[in-house]
A and B are shown apart, each in its own frame.
Chain A
């Protein structure tokens, strides 16, 4: 088998391959169900219903999709420039911490002010966490995969520490339940993010922010000088240097931007859904890592990321709702995994051309070496 880089990537392939991957994943999933004695079609239908069509399912899906959209955007922005920021998890936590703090501090201000502050604080918190691997990569050439990964643990533990081990500002010390089990202070009314209902579908502020930010990111990358530089650096660092671009500053900037997005996602968790700083919930959810795979599936396109976040959010939501004895637990994870595997494998066919050849004595290369 020989693999050669494709010279062109025909448009239709970019759609056909993910679609084929989806079909293949469904077939494989159906096979697994069949083999283990579950009715495939019925199971898939129930999944779909629970995700999208049942009463209130769509709204619940939006709830699941919102954090995924933020972390997906976080990963997409960075990976696009070959910056492997896998610290979305920790950056989200950071934003949750700063966002909750802002919300609590501004208890007596009008709601729009408090909420605006939370968003900004969340962005700042996430950006700060991301700045560390960003700086290390930009100026010391330290591998950002490792440093961003390590910070996930560190910030996660700090998050837990703030509620479980101290009587910090963020911890609820008065409430009845709080005597029994440590939990975060409930955020005041002013810090409750609004939600708009259209035709029975509840759209929280966070979701709308995510959509808006996705559009902004798209515009940034497609239409501005900043985005142009990111594209060039991601494509060829040498060409970027040749053209006089300031690569190191860009790396730091993109990492911070990436972290900021995840951070807003963290603030959204506080303001939209949990109304307190919730370490257990946040660390168990794994939004950051899920965001990475969404970004990869969406080939780092911000619009695709939001759409996919919605889709996978639906699957996630269906998983929660359907937890019972007669529905195969873990089907959601299996399906998500299969979709990812098939999509990853399909990538090969988009980027490379595969040829099957009979083994012959090693053929001589066709083109000459660069002239010498």
Chain B
């Protein structure tokens, strides 16, 4: 039973979906405050490489080093996000271009490759990796075993992150202020909310989460470092935020959906079934476009659409 196609696909989906989930949560946090950050792929890679470096070079006990690695990954990616925040919030640069510049700077063929190469990180497997910590008895349970209990700590922490982000946005005053900044920075500013500060913080936190997502690759899923390890996961995360209509809980579902679709071709091969994985994979994107069109009627847009001020710099003195 636990080796059936469905269970395998879902279980792998959860696995593959986890870096997507982290990165998408991060991007969601940034976008809710009105900042579009297309540099997710770059930030994930920097997080992946720096997390990997920590594990290879820092000599302490396994748990400690893994925790430290996550921390380093978050910090490194957060630093990348800081560049983007500085450019778009303080220097009023175009958010699209700045994000793309960040991807070029930090992504494959950029800083992450530079670091990976200079620090001699490719070629060897990770000295420590995340494993599946729960007892085997739980992991062997029918269906839920592999799917829920056979996962790494990173997966469980990601669920915690979803809850935290959802609570933050909906139930805290800071979250309310942040959402106001993303919907109507002028109104928020008029009410004394510091638009710039919220945008900075949200963008940096967004980067940190993307970094953790990247580390999920290099420390668990494919515990090694190669150039461009994430293979476009960052871009999928961006689409995922939109697909989830900027809601954290939908991100969870969507991430596993996307993850399952990614795992599908491999699982199909192993089971000797031949369906085109690629065409199936177009489904979420096409769905998103259709949904966006439906949502474009002015009324629905308000309920389901993007944060109104997404992508536009806020300048108070603008004449």
Contacts and interface: CB of A to CB of B under 8 A. Distances in A.
Nearest to B287: A150
Contact of A340 (B97, B118, B297, B315): B97
B106 interface: yes
Contacts of A37: 118
Nearest to B105: A337
Interface in A1-43: 2-5, 36-37
Interface residues of B, number: 56
Nearest to A158: B282
A165 B279 CA distance: 8
Given A3-B317, A5-B317, A150-B285, A143 B91 contact: no
A136 interface: yes
Contacts of B277: 165
B289 A147 contact: yes
Contact of A330 (B101, B103, B113): B113
B110 A333 contact: yes
B59 interface: no
Contacts of A165: 276-279
Interface string A279-294: 0000000000110110
Nearest to B284: A153
Interface stretch (A60-68, A117-125, A342-350): A342-350
Contact of A161 (B98, B118, B276, B298): B276
Contact residues on A (Cβ < 8 Å of other chain), bracket: 35 or more
Contacts of A74: none
Interface string A124-161: 00000000100010001111011101110110011011
Contacts of B227: 329-330
Contact of B100 (A5, A132, A164, A293): A293
B279 A290 contact: no
A141 B285 CA distance: 19
A151 B92 contact: no
A118 B98 CA distance: 34
Interface string A325-344: 00011111110111011001
Given A329-B117, A347-B93, A337 B101 contact: yes
A344 B289 contact: no
Contact of B107 (A157, A333, A351): A333
Interface in B84-116: 87, 91-94, 96-98, 100-116
B293 A136 contact: yes
Contacts, number: 166
Nearest to B291: A150
Interface stretch (B1-9, B150-158, B216-224, B235-243): B235-243
A147 to B, nearest CB: 6
A293 B109 contact: no
A157 B280 CA distance: 9
A328 B101 contact: no
A86 interface: yes
A247 B262 CA distance: 41
B278 A161 contact: yes
Interface string A203-247: 000000000000000000000000000000000000000000000
A344 B83 CA distance: 11
A132 B289 CA distance: 10
A48 interface: no
A340 B113 contact: no
B71 interface: no
Contacts of B281: 157
Contact of B104 (A136, A142, A153, A333): A333
Nearest to A325: B117
B105 A340 contact: yes
B279 A157 contact: yes
B111 A153 contact: no
B286 interface: yes
Contacts of A341: 83, 87, 98, 101, 105
B318 interface: yes
B306 interface: yes
Contacts of A157: 278-279, 281-282, 285
Interface of B: 36, 83, 87, 91-94, 96-98, 100-118, 227, 235-236, 238-239, 242, 276-279, 281-282, 285-286, 288-289, 292-293, 296-298, 306, 311, 315, 317-319
24 contacts: A2-B317, A3-B92, A3-B315, A37-B118, A86-B96, A140-B296, A149-B238, A153-B239, A157-B282, A164-B278, A165-B278, A293-B97, A330-B114, A333-B111, A333-B114, A337-B105, A338-B105, A340-B98, A341-B87, A341-B98, A341-B105, A345-B93, A347-B91, A347-B93
